Structure 1
Amino acid sequence: MAAASSPPRCRCAARAQLKTRGAPQCAACAATQLEQRVRKAAQLALGAVLWRRFAARRSDDAGQSKQEEEQGGVVAVVSSGQEGRALLHLLASSFLPAPAIATSRAPQLKHITVLCLLDARAGEEEMQRQRECMQSALEQEADARLRLQWLVVGEPGSVRCEARGEHIYLSRPSSSASSLASSSSCRLQTAPSMTRHQSLHSTLAYASILRRAHQLHASVLLLPSCADCLAAHFLDALVEGNGFSAGMRGGDGWIDDLLILRPLRETSAKELAFYLHAKRLSYVTQREATMGTPSKAFKGTMRGMTEQLVRTLQLAAPSTPATVIRTASKLHFAGHAAPIPATAPLHGNAPHVVEAAPEGARLDEAAHHHHHAAQANCAAQHAVGKTQTQVDSLERLAEQATLKQGAAAQRFVLAALSLPVWNTSSRTEAAQCVLCLLPAPPASPTGVPRTPQRAPSTDAASNDALEQGKAMDISTMLCPACLRILETPQVQTRNEAVETLLLPEYVLRAAQARPARPREGGPDALEGFGGMRLEEEDGYERGRMGVMEREEMRAKVEEYLLE
Structure 2
Amino acid sequence: MNKWASKLTSSLLSSQQRFHNYYRLNLLIDCARKLNCKYLVLGECSNRVTVKYLLEIIEGRGNHSSIQTSFLDERYQDITIVRPLRDFLAKEIALYAHFMHLEFVTPNDPLTSIVLKNPNVNTLERLTQDFLATLQTGGFPSTTGTILRTSSKIVLENDSQITCSFCHFPVSNTDSSNDPDKLATKSMIHSSSLSNPDSFNKKTVTGIIDKDLCLSCSLMFKELSLCT
TM-score range, shorter chain: 0.5 to 0.7
Q: CA deviation at 1:275?
A: 0.3
Give the secondary-structure state (helix, strand or coil) at the position aligned to 1:248: helix
CA contact (8 A) 1:245 1:436 kept: no
Sort the Cα spacing of 1:484 and 1:233 in 2 relative to 1 into closer, same or farther, 3 A: closer
The equivalent of 1:306 in structure 2 is: 128
Query: How far apart, CA to CA, are the structure 2 residues paired with 1:435 and 1:328?
Result: 19
Sort the Cα spacing of 1:289 and 1:487 in 2 relative to 1 into closer, same or farther, 3 A: closer
Query: How far apart, CA to CA, are the structure 2 residues paired with 1:215 and 1:175?
Result: 35
Q: CA deviation at 1:432?
A: 4.5
Q: Deviations over 1:482-527 (max 9, x none)?
A: 6976579xxxxxxxxxxx9589xxxxxxxxxxxxxxxxxxxxxxxx
Query: How far apart, CA to CA, are the structure 1 residues paired with 2:38 and 2:61?
Result: 27
The equivalent of 1:318 in structure 2 is: 141
The equivalent of 2:104 in structure 1 is: 283
In the alignment, structure 1 residue 236 sits paired with structure 2 residue 55: yes
In the alignment, structure 1 residue 264 sits paired with structure 2 residue 93: no
Q: CA deviation at 1:244?
A: 3.8
Identity %: 23
The equivalent of 1:465 in structure 2 is: none
Amino acid at match of 1:272: I
In the alignment, structure 1 residue 249 sits paired with structure 2 residue 68: yes
Query: How far apart, CA to CA, are the structure 2 residues paired with 1:276 and 1:198?
Result: 28
The equivalent of 2:114 in structure 1 is: 293
CA contact (8 A) 2:44 2:86 kept: yes
Query: How far apart, CA to CA, are the structure 1 residues paired with 2:162 and 2:83?
Result: 19
Amino acid at match of 1:437: F
Extract unaligned runs of 5+ from structure 1: 1-171, 181-189, 334-424, 443-476, 489-499, 504-563
Sort the Cα spacing of 1:322 and 1:328 in 2 relative to 1 into closer, same or farther, 3 A: same
CA contact (8 A) 1:287 1:295 kept: no
The equivalent of 2:34 in structure 1 is: 215
Matches within 5 A, 1:455-534: 479=212, 486=221, 501=225
Q: CA deviation at 1:293?
A: 1.1
Amino acid at match of 1:223: L
Please, what TM-score do these two structures have when normalized by structure 2?
0.65
Q: CA deviation at 1:281?
A: 1.6
Sort the Cα spacing of 1:313 and 1:328 in 2 relative to 1 into closer, same or farther, 3 A: same
Query: How far apart, CA to CA, are the structure 2 residues paired with 1:210 and 1:293?
Result: 28
Give the secondary-structure state (helix, strand or coil) at the position aligned to 1:221: strand
Amino acid at match of 1:281: L
> RCO (CA 8 Å, sep 6+): is it higher in 1 or 2?
2
Give the secondary-structure state (helix, strand or coil) at the position aligned to 1:270: helix
Extract unaligned runs of 5+ from structure 2: 175-209
Query: How far apart, CA to CA, are the structure 2 residues paired with 1:309 and 1:431?
Result: 31
The equivalent of 1:431 in structure 2 is: 163
CA contact (8 A) 1:433 1:478 kept: no
CA contact (8 A) 2:42 2:82 kept: yes
Sort the Cα spacing of 1:427 and 1:224 in 2 relative to 1 into closer, same or farther, 3 A: farther
Sort the Cα spacing of 1:273 and 1:427 in 2 relative to 1 into closer, same or farther, 3 A: farther
Equivalent residue in structure 1 for 2:5, among 153, 176, 194:
176
Sort the Cα spacing of 1:297 and 1:235 in 2 relative to 1 into closer, same or farther, 3 A: farther
Query: How far apart, CA to CA, are the structure 1 residues paired with 2:49 and 2:170?
Result: 20
Equivalent residue in structure 1 for 2:153, among 330, 337, 356:
330
Q: CA deviation at 1:175?
A: 5.0
Structure holding more strand per residue: 1
The equivalent of 2:203 in structure 1 is: none
Query: How far apart, CA to CA, are the structure 2 residues paired with 1:257 and 1:289?
Result: 32
Sort the Cα spacing of 1:233 and 1:487 in 2 relative to 1 into closer, same or farther, 3 A: closer
Query: How far apart, CA to CA, are the structure 2 residues paired with 1:276 and 1:262?
Result: 18
Q: Deviations over 1:143-201 (max 9, x none)?
A: xxxxxxxxxxxxxxxxxxxxxxxxxxxxx8965152x7xxxxxxxxx885411221222
Q: CA deviation at 1:478?
A: 7.0
Sort the Cα spacing of 1:276 and 1:295 in 2 relative to 1 into closer, same or farther, 3 A: farther
Give the secondary-structure state (helix, strand or coil) at the position aligned to 1:293: helix
Give the secondary-structure state (helix, strand or coil) at the position aligned to 1:260: strand
Give the secondary-structure state (helix, strand or coil) at the position aligned to 1:194: helix
CA contact (8 A) 1:236 1:306 kept: yes
Q: Deviations over 1:361-405 (max 9, x none)?
A: xxxxxxxxxxxxxxxxxxxxxxxxxxxxxxxxxxxxxxxxxxxxx
* Aligned-residue CA RMSD (Å): 3.8
The equivalent of 1:547 in structure 2 is: none
In the alignment, structure 1 residue 224 sits paired with structure 2 residue 43: yes
Give the secondary-structure state (helix, strand or coil) at the position aligned to 1:290: helix
The equivalent of 2:189 in structure 1 is: none
Structure holding more helix per residue: 2
In the alignment, structure 1 residue 206 sits paired with structure 2 residue 28: no
Sort the Cα spacing of 1:484 and 1:223 in 2 relative to 1 into closer, same or farther, 3 A: closer
Q: Deviations over 1:177-227 (max 9, x none)?
A: 52x7xxxxxxxxx88541122122212222222222112111111011000
Please, what TM-score do these two structures have when normalized by structure 1?
0.29
The equivalent of 2:204 in structure 1 is: none
Query: How far apart, CA to CA, are the structure 1 residues paired with 2:130 and 2:26?
Result: 26
Sort the Cα spacing of 1:260 and 1:301 in 2 relative to 1 into closer, same or farther, 3 A: same
Give the secondary-structure state (helix, strand or coil) at the position aligned to 2:110: coil
Sort the Cα spacing of 1:243 and 1:295 in 2 relative to 1 into closer, same or farther, 3 A: farther
Q: CA deviation at 1:440?
A: 9.4
Sort the Cα spacing of 1:293 and 1:480 in 2 relative to 1 into closer, same or farther, 3 A: closer
Sort the Cα spacing of 1:249 and 1:208 in 2 relative to 1 into closer, same or farther, 3 A: farther
CA contact (8 A) 1:234 1:250 kept: yes
Query: How far apart, CA to CA, are the structure 2 residues paired with 1:430 and 1:196?
Result: 23
CA contact (8 A) 2:160 2:172 kept: no
User: Please, which moves more after superposition, 264-273 or 213-222?
Assistant: 213-222
